[in-house]
Structure 1
Amino acid sequence: MRSIRAAAVGAVTMSLALAASACGGGSSTGGGSDDSPKTLTYWASNQGASIAVDKKVLQPELDKFEKQTGVKVKLEVVPWSDLLNRILTATTSGQGPDVLNIGNTWSASLQATGALLPWNAENFAKIGGKDRFVDSALGSTGASDKDPAAVPLYSMAYALYYNKKMFAEAGISKPPTTWDELVADGRKLSKDGKWGLGAEGSNPSENIHHAFVFARQHGAEFFTADGKADFTNDGVVTAVKQYVDLMAKDKIIAPGNAEYAQNQSVSDFAKGKNAMLLWQSAAANLKSQGLSEDDYGIAPVPVQSGTPGTGDQINSMVAGINLAVFKNTHNTDGATKFVKFMTSDAEQKILNTAYTSIPPVKTAQEDPAFNSPANAVLKDTLAKSAAALPQVADESQFETAVGTAIKELFATAAAGRPVSADTVKSALQKAQQQMPAK
């Protein structure tokens, strides 16, 4: 999922029992526009600072594909606020694009609809093989016991962005590595109308991403081994409380952030209102808002103790965008060729450079273009300390239910009311009751 997307889309209940989540049709020609083998319809997610920017990035590449193959690609860039709703509509109506972007956390939920082309060994062979892709990216392509529902396109990870000038003025010489250090630094930085850390309390998507990381750091999971929702176990309650307490108890997040959504915390960081930001692959977003890379540093997201790593030292979800093909396309051959083109080394370098994301293709990721200090942090995180969100069929409902529960907890904190463990557990119990029965 992309850091500059819109906030969570509203819940949508479909006959397939899918709900719209925060990650994130237009074509009325059910796959294979006009049933022509020389035409494809492509829904791209909004990755750039605007839809116009995306068209400027993508159209030259699509023209290049047409020149190479003779297949014309009709592009529509779909805002994140609309994307999942439109995909869900397309899965039930059969009227959608040939190829589309999906937020990688949606993979298992959309896989469960049966509408997407499975990437079995035969299909992977057509695009150069499954082993071309890094393991962390493949981990967010669907349920582990099934063929992937999509192919990784762009990879991202969360990092801690910090304002160098504000740190220096507060006498802080290095970024925090643990949450205790972050809170201590945040208190020094929260003064004169400025705050230590920004958040988007009204953005269920951001809420669930951070809650997932805190839960993993407490050794907890939101689902049992057999896929049942388990939102009220002690580890999850402790994790969610620790996240909300950054506002409620530690007071390093402005109460007004409880109402923030869609990039507002990024904007505040760019304007120097907040000294720290937890965000996924934020360089392009910050640049579009006029912030020079010299003005901020980037470091791994803090952990409970020690340094980021596997197990309880997870510090990011595996963020990113996957490329999927609708099973009912009338142009499977053209769609497969397009996926091969978009995941080729050459295109991976071009597209991920444009979006300041990390290529999920191993050989492209090794290119010197992705060896900047910022990319080094993101690549290291993806390789060593990132984990995929639960790859379960009910994942999208999980994002919506828990993300919204945390939104309500932030509202409680902003109003000055206490947020106790019981308060958190009650909110999570309500979220769990919204999940499909098992």
Structure 2
Amino acid sequence: MLVLSSCGSGSGGSGSSGDQKSSDGGQVTLKMVAADYGDGPGKPNSGETFWKGVVDEFQAANPNIKVEVQVINWNDIDKQVATMVQNGQVPDILQTGDYSGFAKDDMLYKVEEVLSPNVSGDMLQKFAEFGKVDGTAYGIPFVSSARALFYNKELFTKAGISEPPKTWDELKADAEKLKKAGVSQPFGLPLGQEEAQGESFLWMLGNGGGYKDASGKWAINSPQNIETFTYLKGLVNAGLTTPNPGTKDRKTVWEDFGAGKVGMVNGGPMSIPIFDAAGLKDKYGVAPIPGKSGPLDTTLGVMDWIMAFNKNGHAAEIKKFFDFFYTGSAAQKISDTYKLLPVTNGGIQKLSSDEKLKPFLDALPNASFYPFQDPKWADVNPAIKQTIGGAVKDDPAKVLGELQKTADAG
């Protein structure tokens, strides 16, 4: 399920701006339900505040179309939308982490019916491909996120390091220098249950590995992946990482980086507000993630979706709203407010002057994804979260071999 790769957080609350109306004197009302990427109602970055700005601008340009947005927090949106659908109160537009179930139930417009060709043609093609069911596009990529390496400039200077590492050998050498300079966690390594599948995937990519091979077969215990975790185990044993990585979640390690206890850590654009709030604003840099023999030319890509339901028959009005959203200033506003990334080439171009976002933007068009379209991912993903941290403590081949058995079962 694509909801596994959502960019949003679990924070926030819900609010509604009114009920659906069909039409009134030529005016059409579109009902939209959206996930809250902010900190909840009343906060400066709340979803209500963001969408009010977008809708006010759209309605000024399109006075015959009214858009009513109900914002729901990430913990509740799927459940509440399921209830709406069961009760026949289907919105015109839904923005959330998954579209596929609605597409299989024939409830959605095809993308070509609600998005102009010039807009759909500007989408990052790798992302747009994941919006298809049986070759037909129903889900429209809404926002994306990615990963890169964050490093503490002050700690690097203290340790005599002039630039971020590009290879694993350089990363190990830099970690040794940081340790010698008194840094308690030279490299932040969260392999706890929160997002072990993401951290692991980034390291696998750096050695030409991944959860599957090029032919699409599960390859969790491939020679490349075993070599990757053997390297990581060496870092852990040398005291160059977060202690006991298998018990540490991303949030904790990011907070430690913000507190100046960590020299380097993999993170996303959503890490930036956390690090800035901790007082590191001008004290860290962002670079491509180091691989075994050179920096990654890919990254972990995640995305959320927007879709249009066909029940109320407002395709023309929805198309106007979608075209407005993707060609106007909304992508820039999302980035400024939530540090989420665009899903169009035009959006990437608009943000290209932001130095902190540049490594993420450069890697996005060639992003790599979890194998979430494989039904087995629903079993493999939680198993990875629970056990892969053991691969840097015990025998990597054995731990990865057990995960391979989970993938091959049935």
Instruction: Specify the alignment match of 2:33 in structure 1.
Output: 43
Cα distance in 2 for residues equivalent to 1:325 and 1:242 = 47
Cα distance in 2 for residues equivalent to 1:68 and 1:337 = 10
Please give the residue correspondences for 1:404-415 in structure 2 after superposition, counting only pairs within 5 Å.
Answer: 404-410=383-389
Cα distance in 1 for residues equivalent to 2:300 and 2:318 = 29
Which of 325, 337, 344 matches 1:354?
A: 337
Cα distance in 1 for residues equivalent to 2:327 and 2:316 = 16
Cα distance in 1 for residues equivalent to 2:402 and 2:263 = 32
Instruction: Specify the alignment match of 2:73 in structure 1.
Output: 78
Instruction: Specify the alignment match of 1:63 in structure 2.
Output: 56
Which of 202, 210, 218 matches 1:230?
A: 218
Relative to structure 1, the CA distance from residue 407 to residue 124 in structure 2 (aligned partners, 3 Å threshold; closer, same or farther) is same
Cα distance in 2 for residues equivalent to 1:90 and 1:224 = 40
Please give the residue correspondences for 1:34-433 in structure 2 after superposition, counting only pairs within 5 Å.
Answer: 34=20, 36-37=22-23, 38-48=28-38, 52=43, 53-55=45-47, 56-69=49-62, 70-79=65-74, 81-83=75-77, 97-103=91-97, 106=98, 110=101, 113-114=104-105, 117=108, 119-125=110-116, 128-142=118-132, 146-190=135-179, 192=182, 194-204=184-194, 206-223=195-212, 230-235=218-223, 237-238=225-226, 241=229, 245=233, 248-249=236-237, 251-255=239-243, 257-261=245-249, 263-282=251-270, 284-286=272-274, 289-309=277-297, 314=298, 316-329=299-312, 331-367=314-350, 369-383=351-365, 385-390=366-371, 392-394=373-375, 398=377, 401-410=380-389, 417-433=393-409
Cα deviation per residue 1:182-204 (whole Å; 9 max; x = unaligned)?
A: 23322433475720222433345
Q: Which of these two proteins has the greater Rg computed from alpha carbons? A: 2
Cα distance in 2 for residues equivalent to 1:266 and 1:181 = 22
User: How far is 1:118 from its partner?
Assistant: 5.0
User: How far is 1:237 from its partner?
Assistant: 4.2
The alignment partner of 2:161 has SS state of coil
Figure out how many residues of one structure are paired with residues of the other and give that number.
393
What runs of 5+ residues in structure 2 fail to find an aligned partner? none
Cα distance in 2 for residues equivalent to 1:196 and 1:281 = 21
User: How far is 1:6 from its partner?
Assistant: 4.3
Cα deviation per residue 1:1-60 (whole Å; 9 max; x = unaligned)?
A: 5666249xxxxxxxxxxxxxxxxxx899xxx95463544443333434556313333322
Q: TM-score, normalised by structure 2?
A: 0.79
Q: TM-score, normalised by structure 1?
A: 0.74
Relative to structure 1, the CA distance from residue 326 to residue 122 in structure 2 (aligned partners, 3 Å threshold; closer, same or farther) is closer
Cα deviation per residue 1:88-107 (whole Å; 9 max; x = unaligned)?
A: 7777776654323334xx56
User: How far is 1:300 from its partner?
Assistant: 0.4
Q: Residue 76 of structure 1 aligns to which amino acid in structure 2? A: V
Cα distance in 2 for residues equivalent to 1:308 and 1:190 = 25
Cα distance in 1 for residues equivalent to 2:33 and 2:190 = 27
Using CA pairs under 8 Å that are at least 6 residues apart, name the structure with larger relative contact order, 1 or 2.
1
Kept after mapping to 2: 8 A contact 1:43/1:101: yes
The alignment partner of 2:356 has SS state of helix
What runs of 5+ residues in structure 1 fail to find an aligned partner? 8-25
Q: Residue 386 of structure 1 aligns to which amino acid in structure 2? A: A
Please give the residue correspondences for 1:3-18 in structure 2 after superposition, counting only pairs within 5 Å.
Answer: 5-6=9-10
Q: % of aligned pairs identical? A: 21
User: How far is 1:409 from its partner?
Assistant: 3.0
Instruction: Specify the alignment match of 1:12 in structure 2.
Output: none
Kept after mapping to 2: 8 A contact 1:33/1:39: no
Instruction: Specify the alignment match of 1:14 in structure 2.
Output: none
User: How far is 1:404 from its partner?
Assistant: 3.6
Cα deviation per residue 1:121-171 (whole Å; 9 max; x = unaligned)?
A: 34332x74421223343244345x512232222233211011011111112
Cα deviation per residue 1:303-355 (whole Å; 9 max; x = unaligned)?
A: 1213433xxxx3x1223333222344554444333322321233223333333
Kept after mapping to 2: 8 A contact 1:283/1:293: no
